[in-house]
Structure formats: C-alpha cells, structure tokens
Amino acid sequence: MPQKRRSQTWTELKQSGNECFKNGQYGEAACLYTQAIQLLEKSGKNQEDLGVLYSNRAASYLKDGNCAECVKDCTTSLELVPFSMKALLRRAAAYEALERYRLAYVDYKTVLLIDCNVPAAHDGTNRMTKALTDQDGPAWREKLPPIPAVPLEVREKAAQTATPISPAQQNGTSQRERPGDGDIKQALSLREEGNKLVKNGEHKKAAEKYTQSLKLNPTEASTYTNRALCYLSLKSYKEAVQDCVEALRLDSANVKALYRRAQAYKHLKDYKACVEDLNTLLKVEPKNTAARKLQAEVQKMK
C-alpha cells in the first residue's frame, strides 16, 4: 500500500508561504498562510504566531492590490499583537492606497511613537501631511481620529530590538533600505535599456531589465510604472496592478500608475476599482483625455 502523505504543520505552511512571497507568487502565498492560520486556530491560539501569520497574509494581499483584505488582516493581527510595527505599516500603506489618508496618518504616526527611527513611517507621515493639507486645508489635524497612546514597555522593547524597517520590509521583503550611489546609477542604466526595448516592442525583455533595475533600486516609481506597461502588453494584468500599487505607495498622485492600474482593472473586469482610479486621476489632471475616454468606455460596461 502506498504511504499516506504526511500533512504539513502550520510552521511548514508558513515557510512555504514565505518562499512563494519571495518569488512574487502572492496569491499562492496568501492561500498557504490561510491554511497555516486555520491549523493554528484549531490547535489553540498562539496569539503572537497567529498575529504574524495574519500580518504575512496582509502583505500578500497588499502586493496583490487587495487593500481592503490587507486592512482586515492587519487589524486582526494588531488585536492579537498590539502595536506590531509591520502590521501598522502594512495597514497604513493599504489605507493610503485606498485614499483613507487620515487613518494612514494615524498608523504611520503610531509607528513613529513606537520607534522614531523608521524611515518608512517618516516618509509616509510626510506624504499624508501633504495629502491631508491638500484635502482638508490648514486645519487638517483637527479632523484626525485619535492617535493611540503607546505604552512605555512597547517603546522600550522596540528600542532594545530595533532594526531598520525599510519601505520594502513593511511589505514583507528584506531588500536594502537605501540604495547606494553605485546601485542607483546601475539601476538607471538598466531602466534605460528597458526603455529602448519597449520602443522596439520587446516587452518581455524590457520587463526583465526593469526587474533587474528594481532589485538595485526599489524606490523609483517610474520603473514600476514602466514595468506595469510591459505587463499590460503581456496580458499579465495582476502583475501590472501590483507594480502600480508599489508606484502609488512611493507617489500617491502618480498619474501613470493610476491610469495603468485602471487599464489592468478593466481587463480583470473590476470596473468599480477601475472607475475609482480614473476618478482619482482626474482630480489630479482634470483634462486628461485618455482617462476620460477610458472612463466613458468602462461606464458602458458596468
């Protein structure tokens, strides 16, 4: 008789999920984290481990552009492990992508109250300050929800175990925080090679060049939008959405990212999300004819 295959433990499922995440297989990673969560919940809740699993699944949802589910998982994670910086940063990024700038500001600010040396939180707070000033005017702080008080023991623990959390790490990866001058120069050269390939219609090769560029410098929004254009041409619409999410995290008013994500959502038949992106884009550029044309097309499909 053939041997019965041994079921994976929750730790093995978590590790498999981590591997899928590193390889860009975010949907598969989310499924594996879900299985791990179910197993761990059946065996009796271990709050800290369960909180990590929810936070990891949130990172997968965030990369896949599923910001609403990311918010839900981060909230659950924070109920299990209060003041988890990764969960706060991921939820802040999801709120930012959903244009819920007040809630994003509160989460970014809470991270800074825990540890004032987190670059991703400083950058996020600065972006939200600008967005809220534009949205609500000089009195924007008066409209903020309450910012939670961080207990002293949480701040002390963060100080003892502090390691820099980069914008990449807030999404579950471990890329370097700031690229050096040499990396930036090489990344720019690779991006230019990609641009030339796009002009020649070689979108697959161009996407590979942009990928190499992003490994060296993951902080350049235009490289994400360029690769998103390639993915659209290659009909890899989910990947296009992911790249636009990354670009918008770096630049929340990036018109190319909004337009290309809207295009991807149209092909994915997510017309509501498509229209939302186009509406946001038209607030930034009211006379953008391409966006208005796409908006009219999608309105007919709904």
- Answer whether 0.85 is exceeded by the pTM: no
∠ CA 237-120-32, rounded to 5°:
50
Least confident of 24-28, 150-154, 157-161, 248-252: 157-161
Q: Are 249 and 170 in contact (CB under 8 A)?
A: no
CATH 2.60.40.10 fits 10-170, yes or no: no
Cα–Cα distance, 299 to 198 (Å, whole number): 30
pLDDT computed for residue 169 by the predictor: 47
Where is 134: in which H helix or E strand? helix 119-136
Which regions of the chain carry the CATH code 1.25.40.10? 10-170, 181-301
pLDDT, one tens digit per residue, over 179-218 is: 677 888 898 899 999 999 999 999 999 999 999 998 888 8
Determine the average pLDDT of the residues in 216-230: 91
pLDDT computed for residue 166 by the predictor: 47
Q: Are 161 and 83 in contact (CB under 8 A)?
A: no
pLDDT computed for residue 171 by the predictor: 47
Q: Are 55 and 90 in contact (CB under 8 A)?
A: yes
pLDDT computed for residue 4 by the predictor: 47
pLDDT computed for residue 160 by the predictor: 74
Cα–Cα distance, 131 to 179 (Å, whole number): 26
Measured in whole angstroms, the distance separating CA 41 from the mean position of its chain's CA atoms is 26
pLDDT, one tens digit per residue, over 95-134 is: 998 889 999 999 999 998 988 888 888 888 888 888 888 8
Considering the domain 181-301 in this protein, what is its CATH number?
1.25.40.10
> Long-range pairs for 181-186 at CB < 8 Å and ≥24 separation?
183/216, 183/217, 184/216, 184/217, 186/216
